[in-house]
């Protein structure tokens, strides 16, 4: 029996994508209770994931009140203790605030902990918008060029080897035959770690969210690495390897600038393709 190759448009999405899947399907339908609630030991996480996704997805916009405790208890069929524990999780992430005799209100977006891994996963699960991905790229543009410069100054042989290995995997999987997104993530994460600054290294999650968000928005370069983008990654690697901080910074800035342009062009094409379909739907 001949095994068919994996379709190139479905690359494996690691780590954060797994978190997204876990949030939407905690234990599988066969083990869920009423309203999709999993066994009691996971109920707090399930409720936090469900309500968190609905909040960031706009079901409950900033300033609005969540349904009453009685309504949510009826909807999910859980205990008051479980619901309040989920509320504590959401409150700790800056999403909600509860007031006696007023209810639980969604806080302004400025109060949300946007770099929290769960928050990033909820945005992806709720279908990322162009603005969401663009804002992630803007933050990357503020951090990664300088990180590449620092890496060129202080990169160890071990860290450089990780950057090189990730790049080699990107070359190997450039046609979408393997985990291209994972290799891309490892490339950028290794550069952050090469700075020796643990605060900068901790920003790997937002890079992953940007890559997966781009893929979910229809950015084909997330499944296939364009030759020009691959050359740009190599230019960053070579500048770091050659200990040229300014060149590493400039090459990383150009790579990120062109990458977000790829996303915007893909979104415009998708909008042009969807427009005739919407017109056809209205004529029926």
**Domains present along the chain, CATH in parentheses:** 16-110 (1.10.10.10), 128-273 (1.20.120.530)
**Rounded CA separation 113/119 (Å):** 7
- What the block records as the tokens of 198 is 């643990």
> How crowded is residue 23: how many other Cβ atoms within 10 Å of its Cβ?
21
Hey, how many other C-beta atoms are within 10 angstroms of the C-beta on 199? Answer: 8
* C-alpha span between 89 and 75 (Å, rounded): 19
In whole angstroms, what is the distance from residue 32 CA to residue 42 CA?
10
Which residues, 6+ apart, have CB-to-CB distance to 15 below 8 Å? 185, 208
Q: pLDDT tens string for the chain (284 positions)?
A: 444 333 333 333 333 334 334 333 333 333 334 444 444 457 989 999 999 999 999 999 999 999 999 999 999 999 999 999 999 999 999 999 999 889 999 999 999 998 888 898 898 888 777 788 888 888 889 999 999 999 999 999 999 999 999 999 999 998 878 888 889 889 999 999 999 988 888 888 778 777 777 766 655 555 566 788 899 999 999 999 999 999 999 999 999 998 888 777 776 776 666 656 555 656 55
Which residues make beta-bridge pairs with 98? 104
Please tell me the predicted confidence (pLDDT) of residue 155: 92
pLDDT the model gives residue 33: 42
Cβ atoms within 10 A of the Cβ of 67, count? 14
Torsion sign across C-alpha atoms 162, 166, 171, 177: positive
pLDDT of amino acid 275: 59
Predicted pLDDT of residue 107: 98
Of 196, 183, 164, nearest in space to 222 by CA? 183
Whole-number CA gyration radius for the chain = 21
Q: Both tokens of residue 13? A: 């999405």
Contacts of 274 (CB under 8 A, 6+ apart): none
H or E stretch including 11?
A: none
Q: Angle, to 10 degrees, between the axis of helix 117-125 and the axis of helix 16-24?
A: 70
- Please answer whether residues 118 and 55 qualify as being in contact, where contact means their C-beta atoms are separated by less than 8 angstroms: no
The partner residues of 99 in beta bridges, in order of sequence, read 103
Classify strands 103-106 and 96-99 as parallel, antiparallel or unpaired: antiparallel
Tokens of 270: 């998708």
């Amino acid at each position: 029996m001949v095994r068919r190759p994996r379709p190139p448009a479905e690359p494996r999405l690691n780590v954060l994508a797994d978190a997204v899947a876990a949030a939407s399907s905690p234990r599988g339908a066969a083990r869920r209770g009423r309203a999709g609630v999993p066994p009691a030991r996971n109920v707090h996480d399930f409720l936090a994931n469900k309500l968190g996704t609905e909040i960031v997805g706009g079901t409950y916009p900033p300033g609005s009140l969540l349904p009453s405790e009685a309504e949510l208890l009826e909807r999910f069929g859980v205990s008051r203790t479980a619901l309040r524990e989920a509320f504590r999780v959401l409150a700790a992430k800056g999403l909600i605030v509860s007031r006696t005799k007023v209810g639980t209100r969604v806080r302004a977006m400025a109060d949300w902990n946007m770099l929290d891994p769960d928050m990033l996963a909820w945005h992806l699960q709720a279908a990322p918008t162009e603005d969401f991905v663009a804002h992630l790229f803007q933050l990357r543009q503020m951090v990664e060029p300088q990180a590449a410069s620092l890496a060129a100054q202080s990169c160890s042989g071990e860290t450089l080897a990780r950057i090189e290995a990730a790049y080699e995997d990107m070359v190997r999987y450039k046609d979408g035959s393997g985990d291209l997104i994972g290799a891309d993530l490892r490339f950028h994460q290794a550069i952050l770690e090469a700075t020796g600054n643990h605060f900068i290294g901790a920003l790997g999650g937002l890079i992953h969210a940007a890559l997966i968000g781009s893929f979910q928005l229809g950015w084909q370069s997330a499944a296939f690495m364009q030759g020009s983008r691959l050359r740009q990654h190599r230019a960053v690697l070579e500048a770091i390897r050659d200990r040229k901080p300014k060149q590493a910074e400039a090459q990383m800035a150009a790579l990120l600038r062109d990458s977000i342009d790829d996303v915007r062009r893909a979104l415009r094409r998708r909008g042009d393709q969807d427009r005739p379909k919407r017109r056809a739907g209205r004529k029926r």
